[in-house]
Structure 1
Amino acid sequence: MTTRAADPHTAALESDLREGFFRDPPTVPPRWFYDEKGSLLFDRITRLAEYYPTRAEAEILRARAADIVGAAGTVVELGAGTCEKTRVLLDVLAARAGAPRFVPVDISTEMLLDTARALAAEYPGLRVEPVVGDLTALDGPLPGEPGGRLVLFLGGTVGNFDEAQRAGFLTMLRGVMDPGDRLALGFDLVKDPGRLVAAYDDAAGVTAEFNLNMLDVITRTVPSTGLDRRDFRHEAVWNAGESRIEMWLRAVRDVRIDFPTLGRGRTLAAGEGIRTEIARKFEPGALVDELAGHGFLGRAVWTDGAGDFGLALVVVD
Structure 2
Amino acid sequence: MSYTTVSKRDSNKPVLHDYHPAPARFQEDILVGLRKPQRQIPPKYFYDEVGSQLFDVICQLPEYYPTRTEIELLEKYGEEIAQCMGVNDILVEFGSGSSLKIRLLLDNLQPDAYLPIDISKAHLFKSAKILAKDYPQVAIHAICADYTHPLILPKNFKEGVKSGFFPGSSIGNFEPKEALQFLKQIALLLGKGSGLLIGVDLKKDADILNAAYNDSQGITAAFNLNLLKRINRELQGNFDLDSFKHNAFYNDSKGRVEMHLVSQKKQTVSIGEYIFEFQAGETMHTESSYKYSVDDFQKLAQAAGFYPKQVWVGEEALFSVHYLCL
Distance in 1 separating the partners of 2:293 and 2:283: 29
Could you tell me how far apart the structure 1 residues matched to 2:170 and 2:302 are?
Answer: 19
Which digits, 9 at most, give the CA deviation of each residue in 1:59-83, with x for residues without a partner? 1111222343421111111100111
8 Å Cα contact 1:147/1:180 also seen in 2: no
Q: Within 5 A, what are the aligned runs for 1:11-90?
A: 11-69=24-82, 70-90=86-106
Shift of 1:280: 0.4
| Amino acid of the structure 2 residue aligned with 1:248 | H
Contact 1:80 1:112 in 2 (8 A): yes
Q: Give the gaps of 5 or more residues in structure 2.
A: 1-19
Give the AA of the match of 2:216: A
Any idea what the Cα deviations from partners look like across 1:72-97, whole Å, max 9, x if unmatched?
11111110011111111111233x6x
Alpha-carbon separation, structure 2, partners of 1:180 and 1:141: 17
Which of 261, 270, 282 is the equivalent residue of 2:280? 270
Match of 2:271 in 1: 259
- Indicate the SS of the match to 1:299: strand
Q: 1:147, 1:179 within 8 Å by CA — same for their partners in 2? A: no
Q: Against the structure 1 CA distance between its residues 72 and 66, is the aligned structure 2 distance closer, same or farther, given a 3 Å change threshold?
A: farther
Residue equivalent to 2:14 = none
Identity %: 33
The size of the alignment, in residue pairs, is 303
Query: Which residues of 2 match residues 1-317 of structure 1 at below 5 A?
Result: 8-69=21-82, 70-94=86-110, 100-141=112-153, 144=157, 146=159, 148-225=161-238, 227-261=239-273, 264-316=274-326
TM-score by length of 1: 0.91
Segment drifting more, 160-169 vs 127-136: 160-169
Distance in 1, Cα, partners of 2:142 & 2:293: 33
User: For the residues of structure 2 that align with 1:83 and 1:176, how far apart are their CA atoms?
Assistant: 21
Give 1:146 shift.
4.3
Q: Say whether the 8 Å CA contact 1:183–1:314 is kept in structure 2.
A: yes
Q: TM-score, normalised by structure 2?
A: 0.89
